[in-house]
């Protein structure tokens, strides 16, 4: 049996594509005692409220019909955001050379946050260029990698 997020991604894929968007991620999490099902979407010219609404209406109907989640939950459709997390190998490939923030579980050199440029990705290991220095982080060290926007 596949995970709820995989089932929802399969249900939502066509509806998201029909709106001209890409399904970035599906999240099913418990927050403050309530369950939330979130679809994160993206498109090259940016996601707007109309995209979220159209996809929400269509996918909500599909979820009601398929009923992959027996419990009560809140359904949300959101933009992946400018500072989105990178999770899949394809995410890292797409944003190679982009500004990122890498967070570690344990301190390295007295710190746990490493802002820099995504310089490499191989089997879960991430290489970050920080100024003239290049650091490699193994998969088990990495708590989070997300895009970083400087305004």
Q: Which two tokens stand for residue 119?
A: 């310089």
pLDDT tens, position by position, 11-67: 999 999 999 999 999 999 999 999 999 999 999 999 999 999 999 999 999 999 999
pLDDT tens, position by position, 93-109: 999 999 999 999 999 99
Tell me how many helices (H) and strands (E) the chain has: 3, 8
What residues pair up with 27 in beta bridges, in sequence order? 38
Q: Thinking of the domain 4-79, which architecture would CATH place it in?
A: 2-Layer Sandwich (3.30)
- The answer for residues whose C-beta is within 8 angstroms of residue 47's C-beta and 6 or more apart is 21, 41, 79, 80
Buried b (16+ CB within 10 A) or exposed e, 85-107: bbeeeebbeebeeeebbbebeee
Q: What is the pLDDT of residue 1?
A: 46
For the chain, the structural domain boundaries read: 4-79, 89-147
Answer whether 0.85 is exceeded by the pTM.
Answer: no
What residues pair up with 18 in beta bridges, in sequence order? none
> Does 2.30.30.100 match the CATH number of domain 89-147?
yes
């Amino acid at each position: 049996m596949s995970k709820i997020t995989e089932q929802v991604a399969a249900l939502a894929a066509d509806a998201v594509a029909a709106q001209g968007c890409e399904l970035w991620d599906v999240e099913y999490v418990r927050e403050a005692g309530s369950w939330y099902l979130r679809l994160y979407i993206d498109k090259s010219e940016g996601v707007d409220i109309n995209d979220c609404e159209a996809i929400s209406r269509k996918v909500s109907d599909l979820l009601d019909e398929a009923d992959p989640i027996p419990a009560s939950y809140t359904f949300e459709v959101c933009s992946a955001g400018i500072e989105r997390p990178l999770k899949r190998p394809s995410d890292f490939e797409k944003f190679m050379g982009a500004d990122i923030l890498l967070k570690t579980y344990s301190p390295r050199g007295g710190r746990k946050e490493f802002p820099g440029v995504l310089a490499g990705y191989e089997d879960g290991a991430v290489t970050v260029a920080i100024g003239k220095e290049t650091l490699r982080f193994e998969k088990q060290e990495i708590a989070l990698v997300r895009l970083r926007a400087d305004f």
